[in-house]
Amino acid sequence: MSAHAIDHRLDDLAATARAALVREIDAGGAWDADPHWREAFASVPRHLFVPYYYVGVRGGYERRWGEDPDPRRREEWLRGAYADSPLATRMRDGELLSSSSQPSLMANMLAELEVREGDAVLEIGAGTGYNAALLSYRLGEELVTTVDLDPEITESARRHLAAAGYRPAVVTGDGARGCPERAPFDRVIATCSLSSIPQALLDQCRPGARILAPFATGLIALRVRDAEHAEGRFLPTPAYFVPLRGGALPGREGTDAYLDDLPHRARSHELFRFLLTLTEGGLAPDEARALWEREGWPRRERYGITVDAGRAWAWLDDPDPEGPYTWPLP
Catalytic site includes residue 98: yes
For residue 74, CA distances in Å to 19, 52, 65, 106, 255 come to 19, 10, 7, 25, 41
DSSP assignments along 181-244, one per residue: GG--EEEEEESSBBSS--HHHHHTEEEEEEEEEEETTEEEEEEEEETTEEEEEB-S------BT
271-278 helix and 285-294 helix, angle to the nearest 10 degrees: 130
Phi, psi (rounded to 5 degrees) for 317:
70, -50
How far apart are alpha carbons 330 and 323 in whole angstroms? 19
Eight-state DSSP code of residue 49? G
For residue 218, CA distances in Å to 56, 234, 254, 304 come to 24, 7, 20, 10
How far apart are alpha carbons 204 and 199 in whole angstroms? 9
Query: How do strand 60-65 and strand 121-124 relate by DSSP bridges?
Result: unpaired
Which of 98, 99, 104, 156 is catalytic? The answer is 98
Q: Which residues are tagged catalytic?
A: 98
